[in-house]
């Protein structure tokens, strides 16, 4: 939505003009799935879909927040008191970020806020990370906290872990805070160092949301984390980053499930490094192989795919042939798939994959052609 429209809406709600906007993008992970909480490598890129938070500081300690995505629902709380969960689910993300900043000793101030987002929700494209990073950026500005984008990302992750009860890793918030237009971001989750990787100009990023209803995502996700931690312990390392495929195959203490989970993580880390090189050289054949292997590993060893996303990936791989690569993206159990393909192949995905998927799974998929957008931006009007 246009800023002028959003600014008008802000004035209509609060009877005063917004003084600025903090905005942060959703993300799609190109490769490196379920590796972030294992100190591994990930290669996400930001989306051109963003969550915008228009703001105006208040003289008191009250946060008032409305969202154009949820008309008629609002939230209001004080940053001068201990922050607890409230009645609004999206409002709780705002509270969560305030809670972790307050807990770390940062002095917050009140603000009137208006949120608007075009990041698809429930698709595994990090709409919640975009909201957390934008809210963190807003507090950073109005309360002059002087935090870096990486620090804001870490607070966003803490908000998920300690307030929203989701034990996610750092990938989503870190790329939303630090991503750059037209680039993917290689993140080493062991030390949070990052490297920008230019997106090849001959390829486009296509995201297809399976619209499969995601269930039990958090509990399954947490189980995967626990299995990885158990495997690392049996392998005698602090995280699966410190081990090898050989050690995983030959360790006699690992259960079958732990071996499979560890094999996925260790092999996926290797694929990320190879994918960086393939992206840099525009090597589509290599990307096809790596993304297909990643999907297969997430299906067979990590067991986070569902029939709908397996089917969507297979249909896309068949339709794209040598002109593109496809795999599931994000946490799994439904959600979206990502394709890297030649621009002329987008029509094939739209005209052939979407109807075939509908026929096979009875679900209407949404397709987005994306470009990598800028990470967190805070602007004053």
Per-residue contact flags (x/-) with ligand GLA for residues 272 to 311, judged by CB under 6 A: ----------------------------------------
Classify the C-alpha dihedral 115-119-122-128 as positive or negative: negative
Interface positions, 159-188, toward ligand GLA (CB under 6 A) = 168-169, 171-172
**Closest distance of CB 119 from ligand GLA, Å:** 13
> Dihedral (C-alpha) 228, 230, 236, 237: value to the nearest 10 degrees?
30
Residue selected from 33, 75, 112, 132 as contacting ligand GLA according to rule CB under 6 A: 33
Rounded Cα–Cα distance for residues 67 and 26 (Å): 17
Q: Please, what is the minimum distance in Å from the beta carbon of residue 165 to ligand GLA? A: 13
Catalytic residue among 36, 75, 172, 301: 172
Report d(CA 209, CA 309) in Å as an integer: 9
Give me 274's structure tokens.
Answer: 């190879």
| Binder of ligand GLA out of 331, 334, 373, 375 (CB under 6 A) | 331
Least CB distance to ligand GLA at residue 33 (A):
4
Q: Rounded to the nearest 5°, which phi and psi values hold at 50?
A: -135, 155
Supply the minimum distance, in Å, between the C-beta of residue 94 and ligand GLA.
18
- Report the residue from 10, 30, 37, 152 that binds ligand GLA according to the rule CB under 6 A: 37
Residue 240 Cβ, how far from ligand GLA at the closest point, in Å? 13
172 has catalytic annotation: yes
Give 211-251 as a DSSP string. -PPP-SHHHHHHHHHHHHHHHHHHHTSSSGGG--HHHHHH-
Long-range contacts of 5-10 (CB under 8 A, 24+ apart): 6/52, 6/54, 6/68, 6/114, 6/116, 7/54, 7/381, 9/68, 9/114, 10/54, 10/56, 10/112, 10/114
Interface segment toward ligand GLA; rule CB under 6 A; list 28-36, 233-241, 251-259, 371-379 = 28-36
What is the closest distance, in whole angstroms, from the C-beta atom of residue 300 to ligand GLA in the complex? 17
CB-wise, 272 or 315, nearer to ligand GLA?
272
Map the footprint of ligand GLA across residues 79-108, applying CB under 6 A.
none
Q: How many residues bind ligand GLA (CB under 6 A)?
A: 11
CA atoms within 13 A of residue 41's CA, in its CB half-sphere: 20
State which residue, 29 or 316, has the beta carbon closest to ligand GLA.
29
What's the min distance (Å) between Cβ of 34 and ligand GLA? 5
Task: Choose between 37 and 99: whose C-beta lies nearer to ligand GLA.
Answer: 37
Q: Which residue has the tokens 């290689």?
A: 186
Residue 26 found at the interface with ligand GLA (CB under 6 A): no
Torsion of CA 324, 330, 336, 342, to 10 degrees: -20
Q: How far is the CB of 298 from ligand GLA (least distance, A)?
A: 9
Smaller CB separation from ligand GLA, 67 or 329: 329
* Distance separating alpha carbons of residues 153 and 100, to the nearest angstrom: 12
Q: Which is nearest to 238 in space by CA: 37, 31, 33?
A: 37
Separation CA 183–CA 295 (nearest Å) = 22
Q: How far apart are CA 160 and CA 155, in angstroms?
A: 9
- 24 or 354: whose CB is closer to ligand GLA? 24
Candidates 30-38, 95-103, 108-116, 282-290 — which segment interacts with ligand GLA by CB under 6 A?
30-38
Closer to ligand GLA by Cβ: residue 21 or 97:
97
Q: CB-side exposure of 241: number of CA atoms within 13 Å?
A: 17
Q: From the list 34, 106, 259, 261, which residue makes contact with ligand GLA (rule: CB under 6 A)?
A: 34
Structure tokens at 152: 């804001």
Q: DSSP string spanning 153-215? A: HHHHHHHHHHTS-----SHHHHHHHH--TTEEEEEETTTTEEEEEEPPTT-EEEEEE--PPP-
Q: Which CB, 142 or 159, lies closer to ligand GLA?
A: 159
Nearer to ligand GLA, 110 or 334 (CB): 334
Taking CB under 6 A as the criterion, which residues in 115-144 touch ligand GLA? none
The residues of the shown chain that bind ligand GLA, judged by CB under 6 A, are 29, 33-34, 36-37, 168-169, 171-172, 330-331
Catalytically active residues are 172
């Amino acid at each position: 939505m246009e800023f002028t429209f959003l600014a008008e809406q802000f004035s209509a709600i609060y009877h005063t003009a917004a003084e600025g906007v903090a905005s942060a993008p959703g993300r799609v992970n190109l490769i490196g799935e379920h590796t972030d909480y294992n100190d591994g490598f990930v290669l996400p890129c930001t989306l051109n879909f963003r969550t915008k938070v228009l703001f105006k500081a208040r003289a008191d300690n009250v946060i008032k927040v409305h969202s154009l995505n949820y008309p008629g629902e609002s939230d209001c709380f004080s940053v001068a008191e201990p922050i607890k969960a409230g009645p609004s689910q999206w409002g709780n993300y705002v509270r969560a970020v305030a809670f972790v900043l307050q807990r770390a000793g940062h002095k917050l101030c009140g603000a009137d806020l208006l949120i608007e987002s075009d990041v698809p929700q429930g698709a595994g494209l990090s709409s919640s990370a975009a909201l957390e990073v934008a809210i963190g950026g807003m507090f950073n500005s109005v309360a002059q906290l002087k935090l870096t984008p990486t620090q804001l990302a870490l607070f966003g992750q803490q908000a998920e872990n300690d307030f929203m009860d989701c034990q996610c890793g750092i990938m989503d918030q870190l790329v939303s805070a630090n991503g750059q237009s037209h680039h993917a971001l290689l993140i080493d989750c062991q030390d949070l160092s990052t490297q920008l990787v230019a997106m090849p100009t001959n390829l486009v990023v296509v995201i297809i949301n399976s619209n499969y209803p995601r269930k039990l995502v958090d509990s399954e996700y947490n189980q995967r984390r626990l299995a990885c931690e158990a495997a690392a312990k049996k392998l005698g390392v602090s995280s699966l980053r410190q081990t090898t495929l050989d050690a995983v195959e030959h360790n006699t203490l690992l259960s079958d499930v732990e071996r499979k989970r560890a094999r996925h993580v260790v092999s996926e880390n290797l694929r990320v490094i190879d994918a960086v090189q393939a992206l840099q050289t525009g090597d589509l054949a290599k990307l096809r192989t790596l993304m297909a292997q990643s999907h297969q590993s997430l299906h067979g060893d990590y067991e986070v795919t569902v029939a709908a996303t397996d089917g969507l990936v297979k249909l896309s791989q068949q339709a794209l042939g040598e002109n593109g690569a496809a795999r599931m993206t994000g946490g799994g159990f439904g959600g979206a798939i990502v394709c890297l393909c030649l621009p002329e192949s987008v029509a094939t995905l739209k005209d052939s994959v979407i109807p075939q998927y509908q026929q096979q799974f009875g679900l209407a998929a949404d397709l987005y052609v994306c470009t990598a957008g800028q990470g967190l931006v805070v602007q004053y009007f």
